[in-house]
Structure 1
Amino acid sequence: MPLVTTSEMFKKAYEGQYAVGAFNVNNMEIIQGIVDAAKEENAPLILQVSAGARKYAKHIYLVKLVEAALEDSGLPIALHLDHGEDFEICKSCIDGGFTSVMIDGSKLPFEENIAVTKKVVEYAHERGIVVEAELGRLAGVEDAVNVNAKDATYTDPDQAVEFVERTGVDSLAIAIGTSHGAYKFKGECKLDFARLETISNKLPGFPVVLHGASTVLPEFVEKCNQYGGKIHGAQGVPEDMLLKAGKMGVCKINIDTDLRLAMTASIREHFAKNPADFDPRQYLKPAREAIKNMVKHKIRNVLNCSNRI
């Protein structure tokens, strides 16, 4: 089975009122853990690569690892560029084997965002590739994305309609209160579901995307801190909110921070309990298993996409 686009995934997700997980990948163990979980849950899967991941692992290594996962699992997998900052990066990924790209022009004025998104859409659609864009700005820090809270803006529903119509984009990441990184909220967690409902009603059948949607599971934060970490006050998006969003037109939920926390918590615990170990396989094997178990939990309890293939 070749890599797929997200078109059919999102159509089924919208009709079934669930979301597909888009998991960020950086190395072999992360890919294996995610893919093994999806295979056991019989779930559709998006593996996404950020600019930071391409810089760290190199484009060609990540593509070949995903191709290996595809052959090993037989799953429908989409390979997606996360937060492409300009046309050239998107073009490179389209030409280099990706089946989906995100052009992130959210930092640009509205008209400039439309212009660059439309340019990417035209190039991608000619080659059978789908495009995600972003309207509104999420706060937080993750890889190359760094937005202060004062610069964050929620997505305007009327602008969302105009943006989709003028660009021909295939999906849209919106800002309703999520944020990047491990420190998403201070105090009570809130998402603007009224805004999401308005956008979904104005764009019926159109797939919406949530970025910055890791839950920052307390068990991993506590384990990191227990074994020498300093991740105090971290707080993510409650799982019941994400489950609700999946019933309101959100077809793709991005998860990165939870992967990092699961892996890091496992490695910290291993070194604390086994200080003589120095073979990377000794600590990466349980780290891979931690990712697998966390992703299975997400598929079942947050995305609601088990047995959706």
Structure 2
Amino acid sequence: MQCDHLRRKGPARQVAVPDPPRPSPNPNAYQSNQRFTSQDPTMDQNATAVRNALINNLTVPAFNIPYPPMMEPVIRAVRDEDAFAFIAVARIEWEKLGAISPAVIAEEFREYDDARHVSLHLDHVPVIDEDDLQVDWEPIFRQGIEHGYQSLMIDGSRLDLEGNIEVTRRAVEIAHSAGLPCEAELGAVMGHEDGPQPPYEELFRTKMGFTDIEQARRFVTQTGCDWLSVAVGSIHGSVRGAGGGAEKVEARLDLEHVERLQEATGVPLVLHGGSGINRDCVQGGIRRGIAKVNVASEIRRAYAGELESSGDEQAACELVYERTRSLLHDYFALTGTRRAIIGEGG
């Protein structure tokens, strides 16, 4: 049973929300690295959204869709909160979960597309994947462009610095030639690797994989990437907590490190592994330059857990809807911020 509220029942319930108060502009607002001007204004939407988020001390959540039925409840939730978000899919989600392909996710997105509230983002196209295998990433980038993704992410974080710079520079060229912004990653957000992970407190205390400040400055300058995904304390999926069991622990962020990275690079920062981080840390990170936050585990587990326990896909989709609304309203405080993100004409 598919989740068909938008397709079969017409427009979802609209929540009346007041115009949001405009936050004080970010004193560290940047001049983007983007060197392109698209003939299609929708192709600039993701760049505009992230830029406005940074300026207004807001963030753009990117909700990953590892199973196509999750698409409808996520978009419905974003619309009902009058927020703006990216709908994202990563290579690992079509290789190891149920996303099937970037083309399938793009096709599903078009069934419910609402350009005032959501747009497509191609997440985590790795050069070396989580199994340490080399990936032919350029065809995936070109597929993303072909299927209408409005921003692209290259992940060369498993390469050495020089290799990451070289690959990212090429990825930026491809994205910019299509009028799209390009996200890159420097540092290692732990959690996708096979095998046991160290306890979270050990990861945080030792700053294992944290993005180096001076390397980040050089990386952005030499690659021209538009957004930089950084490692500052978040984790993908599950790591061991104090008790030693594999679980999604409540992570936190090194806010001083975030601030120094934004000052050094001058570009919007991206937080991956956004599920399960202490809310105050997330809000502090947003005020210091995190203009995009990826959310995957929180809504994926809601969907998969309900489906496994009840076998009811509609119930699983409704749980995704409620979790997404809660994240937008309670966690990110983004209710009613759509126009601040996409502009007054949105």
TM-score, normalised relative to structure 1: 0.81
Q: Name the SS for the 2:191 alignment partner.
A: strand
- How many percent of aligned residue pairs carry the same amino acid? 27
Q: 2:228 pairs with 172, 180, 185, which one? A: 172
Residue of structure 2 in register with 1:81 after alignment: 122
Tell me, yes or no, if the aligned pair for 2:63 and 2:296 is still in contact at 8 Å: yes
What letter matches 1:59 in structure 2?
A: P
Give the Cα–Cα distance (whole angstroms) in 1 for the partners of residues 92 and 251 of structure 2. Answer: 28
Residue of structure 2 in register with 1:106 after alignment: 157
Q: Name the SS for the 1:21 alignment partner.
A: strand
Residue of structure 2 in register with 1:130 after alignment: 181
Query: Is 1:193 paired with 2:234?
Result: no
Bigger CA drift: 60-69 or 131-140? Answer: 60-69
Q: Name the SS for the 1:38 alignment partner.
A: helix
Spell out, residue by residue over 1:156-202, the C-alpha distance to the aligned partner (whole angstroms, 9 max, x if none).
11111111111110100000111110337547844211111111222
Query: Is 1:297 paired with 2:340?
Result: no
How far has the Cα of 1:127 moved from its partner? Answer: 0.8
Taking a change above 3 Å as real, the CA distance of residues 193 and 293 of structure 1, as seen in their structure-2 partners, is: same
Residue of structure 1 in register with 2:284 after alignment: 244
Taking a change above 3 Å as real, the CA distance of residues 99 and 9 of structure 1, as seen in their structure-2 partners, is: same
Query: Is 1:203 paired with 2:265?
Result: yes
Tell me, yes or no, if the aligned pair for 1:246 and 1:303 is still in contact at 8 Å: no
What letter matches 1:61 in structure 2?
A: V
Q: Name the SS for the 1:139 alignment partner.
A: coil
Spell out, residue by residue over 1:112-153, the C-alpha distance to the aligned partner (whole angstroms, 9 max, x if none).
100000001011101101110000011112xxx558558941
Query: Is 1:260 paired with 2:316?
Result: no
CA RMSD of aligned residues (A): 2.3
Whose helix proportion is higher, 1 or 2? 1
Tell me, yes or no, if the aligned pair for 2:209 and 2:231 is still in contact at 8 Å: yes
Give the Cα–Cα distance (whole angstroms) in 2 for the partners of residues 65 and 29 of structure 1. Answer: 9
Give the Cα–Cα distance (whole angstroms) in 2 for the partners of residues 2 and 123 of structure 1. Answer: 18
Taking a change above 3 Å as real, the CA distance of residues 66 and 172 of structure 1, as seen in their structure-2 partners, is: same
Give the Cα–Cα distance (whole angstroms) in 2 for the partners of residues 33 and 123 of structure 1. Answer: 32
Residue of structure 2 in register with 1:225 after alignment: none
Q: Name the SS for the 2:292 alignment partner.
A: strand
Tell me, yes or no, if the aligned pair for 1:177 and 1:191 is still in contact at 8 Å: yes
Taking a change above 3 Å as real, the CA distance of residues 268 and 4 of structure 1, as seen in their structure-2 partners, is: farther
What letter matches 1:129 in structure 2?
A: L
Show the 5 A alignment for 1:267-282.
Answer: 267-271=307-311
The gaps in structure 1 that reach 5 residues or longer are 216-236, 272-282
The gaps in structure 2 that reach 5 residues or longer are 1-40, 128-136, 244-249, 339-346
What letter matches 1:104 in structure 2?
A: D
Q: Name the SS for the 1:121 alignment partner.
A: helix
Give the Cα–Cα distance (whole angstroms) in 1 for the partners of residues 82 and 212 of structure 2. Answer: 36
Taking a change above 3 Å as real, the CA distance of residues 90 and 33 of structure 1, as seen in their structure-2 partners, is: same
Tell me, yes or no, if the aligned pair for 2:58 and 2:291 is still in contact at 8 Å: yes
Give the Cα–Cα distance (whole angstroms) in 1 for the partners of residues 148 and 116 of structure 2. Answer: 17
Q: How many residues are aligned here?
A: 271
Q: Name the SS for the 1:191 alignment partner.
A: coil
Tell me, yes or no, if the aligned pair for 2:83 and 2:334 is still in contact at 8 Å: yes
Tell me, yes or no, if the aligned pair for 1:139 and 1:146 is still in contact at 8 Å: no
